[in-house]
Structure 1
Amino acid sequence: MRYFVVFLFVLVCSSTFAQNDTIAKTLKGTVIQNDTRLPMGGVHVINATKVTGTITTPSGLFEIVAQVNDTLLFSFLGFETIKVKVTNDWVKENPTKIYLSEKSYVLDEVTVYKYNLTGFIQVDTKLIPVASDSYRYNITGLQAGYEVGDKSPGAVSKVLGSIFNPADFLYNVFGKRPKEMKKLKEMKKDDTVRNLLSTKFDRETLATLLEISKDDIPLILENCNYSEYFIKTANDLQIMDAINACYEEYKVLKKR
């Protein structure tokens, strides 16, 4: 009987500890610049698991709701974005310190082309090459259009072929990622997340939030018929909105 009581006590304690791990708590901490050891204000702190975020105070302090195994992103312009996994130690020894380091940039060789400009806008705009336009085709019943590279009949056929090919467009792009795509709605709700994505062009933060590979993002957009120019130049917020618009159209077509 005594051994049974001890076993029951251990079982109850283990269950209690396991439940504590799944309870979300408010974590506190300070973000510090690695070189100067000074606190950093205005740093974006994003819970990538729950898609919520906050910004550090001028004293570098932050508070964010998280639980064990959540992934937190710390991002500031000109500094390396770091990912931190929430551990039991952090939850128990709250608060903690996070150190950010400045990015090191390696500049590629740049070729400067000479243009014989005249000083007249009407003339000079014809001399300087301009990137080709992209066009979008709207289809009745869908919420947005499809962007393609030109006006040729082949471009329109490509759009229609993608939309009405369930194997290539519907299933492969979104059907295999139901969990990740559901997070798009949460990402649209949090202004801190949206403001951070509007400053990003590297796709790393967006990929982490969607729990997909960074290399998957251009593939998704290509299947949604977005132009190469848009894929390369849009910021992460625009990319997120593009994926979301395409996903909403997928759901419309799926219902039909």
Structure 2
Amino acid sequence: MLLMLVIAERPVHTQVYESLKDTTAYFKARILDSLTREPVAFAHIINTSRRTATISDTLGYFFIRTSPGDQLQLTAIGFAAGKLSIGYSILRSQLIHDILLRPIIYSIEAVRVNPLGSYEQFRKRFVTLDLPESEYQIHPSVLEKINQGTDTMDMLIVPPMSPVTALYNLLSKEGKSKRKLRKLLEQEAFEKQIDFKYSPDIVSHITGYTGFDLYEFMEFCSFKKDFLLDATYYEITRAILGKQQEFEAIPEK
């Protein structure tokens, strides 16, 4: 008799479960910060069971269609992800539920910002720097000489009440700056030409010198540019070793 009762009840239980499982309704809730109880805006709510999703509004409220047994996944920037299983009692309730998300702190590595960029970028910006027009009117023939690095006061049209000494200082500084820049670019191009056979790294490898001793020795060598350009790596190495003997023979060395 008892066995027959159990068998008779199974279809009823199954029928009730299936009816609950097929029930769908809108689940309404609000997402809050677990520490401050402030609303979490624009959180993502995904029903992984139905593959549907929604987003909370600026006050943290949202609603989404669910059924008993559905799984919700909640994510928001600055908060740990949360999960919620929808039960029949929750779905049947007419209340707006509060869901708390725990805030988290992201650890990131330090960022180093260099406004000047690399040396090549800085040099390019310096060379192509767009300077404002000078208030002084200069004859075109004078500009050509300035580009050649020549200090000159020829054929200047001096504005009224402008001191001549101020004009001279302006042109003199401009000419010197252009000469310095030209020498810097020429030296850089020269070093690139000989870098594969004569450089601080190569001299240090040959002599064993480092730091201040290395640069003092290279200044002592003072090889001619023509020699460094025309000589082979072997010839330069022999010259370096010869200079090293002279350098170490100096009494204070």
Q: With structure 2 as the length reference, what TM-score do the two structures score? A: 0.39
Higher-RCO chain (CA-CA 8 Å, sequence separation at least 6):
1
Q: With structure 1 as the length reference, what TM-score do the two structures score? A: 0.39
